[in-house]
């Protein structure tokens, strides 16, 4: 719809001088032939209360109020209502201040005594349009920034890929030598000396473990080649659960599914998201040594944020406070002795970044941890 | 059953020495090692192997180029080549080794039974 100067604007007038306040209200009402929704306040607090109760298009703001002075007034209003156009009402001796306010979030300014009904109305409409364009620009900027981040991420992954192939070649050759060497000795062993066999088994296991790390690294380094389609995350949840069915049964874990049946689709690489969910679920399972514990897996449509969310709640020991900033680091693990490599969450995070999504982990007040995946809902 | 001749072309001296020991200890194979890829064709012509194990990443000449050079020689073109690769991902061949684009691959390292299995599979196809 095209904007017109006669369109009524929902206007909030914040002015502690009663004469000015009444005059402004009268002018705004007249310019819209009485159609504008106009509210007035004498203080910042009064203004904030009104902003809380009603929606406005524009605010006419006196900077020097009994409870707030100067630029802070603009900042507070902007914080409370980020989409609201702000027109500052300044004293005639403050023309320079008017210009300054444009830099910190106001769209235009009035100089007391230097406007009439017509220019006031024009100023208000101008401010609303300008705010609308500013918001659009910010949105565009964010989009550009996001795709730029994704490109940077892709480049990084390419580098990791090259590096991983190099490391794999250099490390696997000596590993293969060790493994084949041990294998040969093992077969040639004439005595039944248990201790020699033990030593050889240990050497072999260590070499195999090192080899598995290389395999993980190589698998990880190729995660940038995504095969994205429109998918239903509930189906991916089911698929992931079926893959670790065995681990769940073994520990007698109760899986509670709270899946939103009206979940919108997202654009994602099914196999990669399965990888993420399996990693998170395995972490939850590892964190719960007691048999018969419960995992809740939940899907939520946060339509207000255009987001789709998956949560995994466990009843494990939770994350140590001192580790909370490290768990996403590559090779950070508290399960080194039990075969943990420490790449699980790192991989999850990178996959989610490539999907323009996020993964968080935090402790739940009731105990245990919650992993949260956030996806952008496809439009 | 007579032993089969296997030529291993790989620049890693330690690895090839161990590989030779292991393969020969099965009693099924006679193994010759060539550590310099540039000599691959000459060595193959003098040894006339039943099968060639070929490393992919080597300093002087890459494995695939060696394979092409072998193919171009009418005396060698029918000898099966199995690539050894250290940079393979588990998702590409599984743990077993397998085919990529018409060539056989075995992961390096893979256990001896898997390696022997791949060799035997390729020798059978020859007959
Ligand atoms: N659900 C959870 N509850 C408690 N601690 C967790 C949970 N998930 C992850 N952690 C902590 O974060 C660490 C890192 O997890 P990450 O998945 O990256 O590696 P890992 O599970 O140790 O090894 P792997 O590479 O095999 O996944 C874990 O070692 C553990 O200390
Ligand atoms: Mg893990």
Residue A143 has pLDDT above 90, yes or no: no
| pLDDT at A224 (0 to 100) | 67
| pLDDT at B112 (0 to 100) | 86
Mean pLDDT check: name the lowest of A132-146, A215-229, A256-270, B95-109. Answer: B95-109
Q: What CATH number has the domain bearing residue A237?
A: 3.30.565.10
Pocket lining: A348 vs ligand 1, CB cutoff 6 Å? no
CB contacts under 8 A, A 149-188 vs B, are 165, 168-169, 172-177, 179-181, 183-184, 187-188
Residue A87: what are its φ and ψ, rounded to 5°? -115, 120
Sign (positive/negative) of CA torsion A74, A80, A83, A85? negative
| Inter-CA distances, A313 with A52, A129, A211, A353, B29, Å | 34, 46, 33, 22, 56
A206 and A242 part of one domain: no
List, in order, residues 6 or more apart from A360 with CB less than 8 Å away: A371, A372, A374
Q: Could you tell me if residue A126 is inside a domain?
A: no
What ipTM was reported for this prediction?
A: 0.82
- Which residues in chain B are contacts of A181 at CB distance < 8 A? 18
A63 in Cβ contact with A88 (< 8 Å) = yes
Report how many domains make up chain A: 3
A253 and A319 part of one domain: yes
Higher-confidence residue of A31 and A297: namely: A297
B8 in Cβ contact with B16 (< 8 Å) = yes
A204 and A245 part of one domain: no
Q: Do A176 and B108 touch (CB under 8 A)?
A: yes
The mean pLDDT value of chain B amounts to: 86
A172 and A249 part of one domain: no
| pLDDT at A86 (0 to 100) | 97
- CA B4 to mean position of chain CA atoms: 13
**Does the pTM exceed 0.80?**
no
| Inter-CA distances, A161 with A216, A223, A285, A344, Å | 12, 9, 30, 17
Q: Could you tell me if residue A318 is inside a domain?
A: yes
Q: Could you tell me if residue A2 is inside a domain?
A: no
A345 and A257 part of one domain: yes
What torsion do the CA atoms of B67, B71, B73, B79 make, to the nearest 10 degrees?
A: 90
Give me the residue from A165, A176, A184 closest to B87, CB to CB.
A165
B64 close to A (CB below 8 A): no
A97 and A57 part of one domain: yes
| pLDDT bracket for residue B99 (50, 70, 90) | low
- Which residues in chain B are contacts of A176 at CB distance < 8 A? 12, 15, 18-19, 86, 108-109
CB count in 10 Å sphere of residue A291: 9
A104 and A169 part of one domain: no
- Average pLDDT on A77-100 reads 87
A246 and A294 part of one domain: yes
Quote the strand ranges of chain A, DSSP E.
Answer: 11-14, 38-41, 58-62, 85-90, 108-111, 229-231, 254-259, 266-268, 294-302, 307-313, 358-363, 369-376
CB count in 10 Å sphere of residue B21: 17
Q: How far is A174 from chain B (nearest CA, A)?
A: 7
Higher-confidence residue of A359 and A151: namely: A359
A254 in Cβ contact with A294 (< 8 Å) = yes
Q: Could you tell me if residue A146 is inside a domain?
A: no
| pLDDT at B107 (0 to 100) | 83
Domain termination site, one of A115, A142, A166: A115
Full domain range(s) for residue A68: 10-115
| pLDDT bracket for residue A214 (50, 70, 90) | confident
Pocket lining: A283 vs ligand 1, CB cutoff 6 Å? yes
A217 and A249 part of one domain: no
List, in order, residues 6 or more apart from B5 with CB less than 8 Å away: B29, B30, B31, B32, B47, B48, B49, B50, B51
Which of A161, A162, A169, A173 should one mutate to test binding to chain B, selecting the residue with the greatest count of B CBs within 10 A? A173
What torsion do the CA atoms of B69, B70, B71, B73 make, to the nearest 10 degrees?
A: 90
Query: If you classify domain B4-126 with CATH, what class do you get?
Result: alpha beta
C-alpha to C-alpha distance for B97 and A207, rounded to whole angstroms: 19
Give me the residue label for tokens 């990693």: A279
Residue-wise pLDDT for B36-71, tens only, equals 999 999 999 999 999 999 998 888 788 888 999 998
Residue B95 has pLDDT above 70, yes or no: no
The mean pLDDT value of chain A amounts to: 90
């Amino acid at each position: 719809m095209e904007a017109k100067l006669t369109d009524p604007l929902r206007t909030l007038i914040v002015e502690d001088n009663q004469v000015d306040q009444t005059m402004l209200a009268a002018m705004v009402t007249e310019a819209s032939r009485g159609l504008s929704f106009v509210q007035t306040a004498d203080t910042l607090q009064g203004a904030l209360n009104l902003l809380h109760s009603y929606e406005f298009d524009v605010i006419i703001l006196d900077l020097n109020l009994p409870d707030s002075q100067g630029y802070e007034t603009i900042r507070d209003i902007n914080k409370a209502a980020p989409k609201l156009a702000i027109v500052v009402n300044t004293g005639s001796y403050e023309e320079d201040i008017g210009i300054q306010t444009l830099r910190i979030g106001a769209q235009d300014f009035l100089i007391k005594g230097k406007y009439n009904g017509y220019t006031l109305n024009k100023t208000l409409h101008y401010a609303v349009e300008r705010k609308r364009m500013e918001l659009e620009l910010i949105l565009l900027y964010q989009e550009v920034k996001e795709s730029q981040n994704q490109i940077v991420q892709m480049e990084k992954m390419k580098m990791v890929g090259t590096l991983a192939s190099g490391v794999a070649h250099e490390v696997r050759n000596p590993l293969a030598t060790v493994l084949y060497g041990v294998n040969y000795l093992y077969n040639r062993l004439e005595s039944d000396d248990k201790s020699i066999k033990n030593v050889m088994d240990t050497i072999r296991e260590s070499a195999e473990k090192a080899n598995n790390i290389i395999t993980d690294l190589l698998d990880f380094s190729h995660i940038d080649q995504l095969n994205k389609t429109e998918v239903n995350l509930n189906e991916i949840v089911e698929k992931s659960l079926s893959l670790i069915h065995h681990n769940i049964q073994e520990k007698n874990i109760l899986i509670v599914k709270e899946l939103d049946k009206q979940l919108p689709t997202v654009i994602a690489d099914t196999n990669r998201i399965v990888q993420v969910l399996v990693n998170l679920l395995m972490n939850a399972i590892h964190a719960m040594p007691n048999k018969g514990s419960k995992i809740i897996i939940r899907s939520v449509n946060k339509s207000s944020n255009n987001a789709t969310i998956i949560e995994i709640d466990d009843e494990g020991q939770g994350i140590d406070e001192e580790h909370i900033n490290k768990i996403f680091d590559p090779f950070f693990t508290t399960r080194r002795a039990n075969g943990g490599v420490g790449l699980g969450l790192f991989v999850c995070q990178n996959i989610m970044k490539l999907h323009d999504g996020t993964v968080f982990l935090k402790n739940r007040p009731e105990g245990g941890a919650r992993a949260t995946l956030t996806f952008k809902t496809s439009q | 059953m007579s032993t089969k001749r296997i030529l291993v072309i790989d620049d890693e001296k330690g690895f090839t020495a161990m590989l030779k020991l292991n393969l020969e200890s099965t009693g099924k194979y006679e193994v010759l090692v060539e550590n310099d890829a540039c000599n691959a064709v000459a060595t193959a012509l003098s040894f006339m192997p039943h099968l060639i194990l070929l490393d992919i990443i080597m300093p002087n000449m890459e494995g695939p180029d060696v394979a092409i050079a072998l193919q171009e020689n009418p005396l060698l073109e029918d000898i099966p080549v199995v690539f050894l690769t250290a940079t393979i991902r588990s998702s590409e061949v599984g743990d077993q080794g397998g085919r990529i684009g018409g060539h056989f691959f075995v992961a390096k390292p893979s256990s001896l039974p898997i390696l022997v299995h791949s060799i035997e599979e390729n020798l059978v196809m020859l007959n």
